[in-house]
Amino acid sequence: MKKIFLILFGIFLCLSAEAKVKSKDISFPKHFYIDKIKSCPYVGGETFKSKYKKARIESLISLDWMSEWALGNSRSVNHLNLTGPMTSFAIATHNAIGNNDKEDIDAAKVILIKIAKANVLMDTIGKEELKKKPKCWKDGNPEAPCWYHAYEFARDAFTNYLIIAIYLKDNLNNKEFKIVNNYIKKMHKKFIKPDAFYDEDKGFYAMGNGGIPNLVFANWTNDKKLAAKEFNFRFYQIDKLFYEDGYINNNSFRGYRGLWYHSYGLNSALGYVYLANLWGAEVPNTVINKITKAAEVLNLGITNYESFSSRKYYGEQKNNQYKKHNARKHTHQDALAIDTLMEMVTGIKLENDITYLAKRSEYGIDDLIGFNANCIK
């Protein structure tokens, strides 16, 4: 126990010495990623007026996520029936607010409250329970079950629910707010708080490695101290996990999918830094420099994949056992506005990635960061 305490205390001292963001610096944008939601064609045209889309969104209320998750493995996640409807929910709500469509705002509120009353995702495995389960990629086997995926996608889907709640906050009466807030507090306790400041040794993935969920909850609760603490911790994590030459610990070295996961992590970091700038947090130069180099490395992978993949990795790596037919030698298609974010944050233009451009959609909500950066151009 004493050793653990000393390690944690050392980390605290390190963070305190580097910390620049103070709670007084923070200014919460009303709608999380923007001060005021306006009509934005890049979000897409989904509304609650479509019976099919509305029914698809409402399917979240009775979703058995643990059964759905069980159909996946360490290599892939069967999350279509969770991520898909939640993304549609976010898009339709964004359009309802942006167009000041009272009918659709009311429809969004009804679903928001029904999800809260049904305690959707609460029966999903939590972070503490994961300790009793085998790790993903056990023995390097891509077919091994990945219990972390069950937790991770529940956390990220809930984060998108929370962003939707922020969109609708001003439209909730006291009773409705209480129902939604009680659900949010329970979900936060199980899915966000236990992972909030975990000092990761490898890999930077969706939602800023848990940083964006922290920021969304801080926005919802108007907790500037939490936001400042989060920014300081995540800057430390990015500085730790992004190498000086722009490669990302773990992400960039995942075999035939190294470039795919490199762009995945980079997109997450770019979205996070955009939020930091918007919220008033001073981003350290070391973080900007490493993310800029990572953008250059992504372009290298697009123009010269062999050169990109020649970089050696000396850490332990079990999640890189992909067969050639599982290759993803392109920018991650879910990073739908990474070109916009790259140029905005680093000043670097994304190289012409033909496969990425064919696979991605510019329209919708980026599930890796919780918003569409094309709506802030």
pLDDT score recorded for residue 79: 80
Residue 2, pLDDT above cutoff 80: no
Please report, in angstroms and rounded to a whole number, the separation of the first and last CA atoms in the chain: 50
Q: What is the mean pLDDT of the segment spanning 136-141?
A: 84
Instruction: Tell me which DSSP letter residue 248 carries.
Output: B
Question: What would the pLDDT profile of 150-209 be if each residue is shown by its tens digit?
Answer: 898 899 899 999 999 999 999 999 999 999 999 999 999 999 998 889 999 999 999 999
Three-class SS state of 365: coil
Residue from 313, 263, 311 nearest 291 by CA: 263
Of 40-49, 306-315, 340-349, which range is least confident?
306-315
Please state, in angstroms and rounded to a whole number, the distance separating the CA atoms of residues 103 and 220.
24
Confidence grade of residue 11 (pLDDT, cut at 50, 70, 90): low
Residue 6, pLDDT above cutoff 50: no
Considering the entire predicted model, what is its pTM?
0.91
Amino acid symbol at 188: H
CA contacts within 13 A on the Cβ side of 11: 15
Residue that the structure tokens 């999350």 belong to:
79
Q: Are 159 and 23 in contact (CB under 8 A)?
A: no
Chain centroid to Cα 65, Å, comes to 19
Quote the tokens at residue 18.
């580097």
Residue 5, pLDDT above cutoff 60: no
Contacts of 234 (CB under 8 A, 6+ apart): 208, 209, 211, 214, 272
Contacts of 278 (CB under 8 A, 6+ apart): 29, 33, 34
H helices of the chain, where?
2-18, 51-58, 65-69, 80-98, 102-117, 127-130, 147-168, 174-187, 206-209, 211-221, 224-241, 258-279, 285-303, 305-309, 338-346, 354-359
Confidence grade of residue 321 (pLDDT, cut at 50, 70, 90): low
Q: Are 167 and 97 in contact (CB under 8 A)?
A: yes
pLDDT score recorded for residue 326: 78
Residue that the structure tokens 């040794």 belong to:
201
Of 4-13, 92-101, 161-170, 245-254, which range is least confident?
4-13
Q: How large a percentage of the chain has pLDDT more than 90? A: 74
For 226-250, b/e burial (b = at least 16 CB within 10 A) is: bbbbbbbbbbbbbeebbbeebbbbb
Question: What would the pLDDT profile of 204-242 be if each residue is shown by its tens digit?
Answer: 999 999 999 999 999 999 999 999 999 999 999 999 999
Residue 18, pLDDT above cutoff 70: no
Average pLDDT, the chain: 91
Instruction: Tell me which DSSP letter residue 350 carries.
Output: P
Q: Are 226 and 12 in contact (CB under 8 A)?
A: no
Question: Quick one: CA dihedral 269, 151, 362, 323, positive or negative?
Answer: positive
- State how far the alpha carbon of 168 is from the alpha carbons of 39, 108, 236, 348, in Å: 15, 8, 33, 35
pLDDT score recorded for residue 324: 76
Residue that the structure tokens 């990635």 belong to:
353
Residue from 236, 189, 237, 235 nearest 213 by CA: 189
pLDDT score recorded for residue 15: 47
pLDDT score recorded for residue 305: 96
Backbone angles phi, psi at 248, to 5 degrees: -115, 130
